[in-house]
């Protein structure tokens, strides 16, 4: 038999989701996003190639690709 508290986690952990959202918002407001993106960029051509191979391996295992990923723009942003 399930405990009464387990109902909170039926479709996800709401408390953890709120904590994550708050931490994410704080990080964005901190102004460190550009630095973090720069720091996460591949440091060499070999690392970039390794990341590309890993991405390709993940795509091969996926059932189907999100159509939005394949969408091509004609030079203008479609926002």
Task: Specify the pLDDT at position 7.
Answer: 57
The residue behind tokens 């990341």 is 51
pLDDT grade for 75, boundaries at 50, 70 and 90:
low
Task: Specify the pLDDT at position 46.
Answer: 97
Domain range summary for the chain, segments of one domain joined by +: 12-70
The tokens describing 69, both together, are 């990923």
Q: Rounded CA gap, 25 and 19, in Å?
A: 10
Residues in the chain: 79
- Percent of the chain at pLDDT above 90? 51
Mean pLDDT value across residues 62-72: 71
Task: Specify the pLDDT at position 27.
Answer: 96
Q: Has residue 79 got a pLDDT over 50? A: no
Report phi then psi at 20, rounded to 5: -60, -45
């Amino acid at each position: 038999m399930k405990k009464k508290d387990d109902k909170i986690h039926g479709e996800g952990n709401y408390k953890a989701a709120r904590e994550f959202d708050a931490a994410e918002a704080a990080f964005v407001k901190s102004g460190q996003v550009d630095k973090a993106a720069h720091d996460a960029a591949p440091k060499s051509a070999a690392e970039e190639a390794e990341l590309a191979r890993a991405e390709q391996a993940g795509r091969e295992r996926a059932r189907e690709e999100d159509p939005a990923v394949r969408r091509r723009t004609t030079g203008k942003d479609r926002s």
